[in-house]
Amino acid sequence: MLGEVRVLLARPDNDFAWSSWENANEALAEIDAAIARIGAGGRVPPGLVTLFAPTGQIQEVASSSGWDDAFLVLADRFDAALE
């Protein structure tokens, strides 16, 4: 699932103006760090939950970049995985 988020955040036409990320590189670095931590057997980083929250960083990029529906599907899957 995080890989799918990574692909969406890497789109060249994304608008990061409403997120705290300056650009795709910052967003991808944060997602990559979370993927690495989870892959190494670590817990889900607390900040990752915030990224998927309503009006969180990922949704801000999704909303301004035209992939809201894809975000909502991934956010539902993320929430289900945490349960």
d(CA 61, CA 16): 5
Q: pTM for this structure? A: 0.90
pLDDT-derived band at 61 (thresholds 50, 70, 90) equals: very high
What whole-number distance in Å separates Cα of residue 52 and Cα of residue 72?
9
Alpha carbon distance 9, 70 (integer Å): 11
Q: How confident is the model at residue 39 (pLDDT cuts 50, 70, 90)?
A: confident
Given a cut of 80, is residue 42 above it in pLDDT? no
Over 80: is that where the pLDDT of 1 sits? yes
Write down the pLDDT at residue 82. Answer: 84
pLDDT value at residue 47: 85
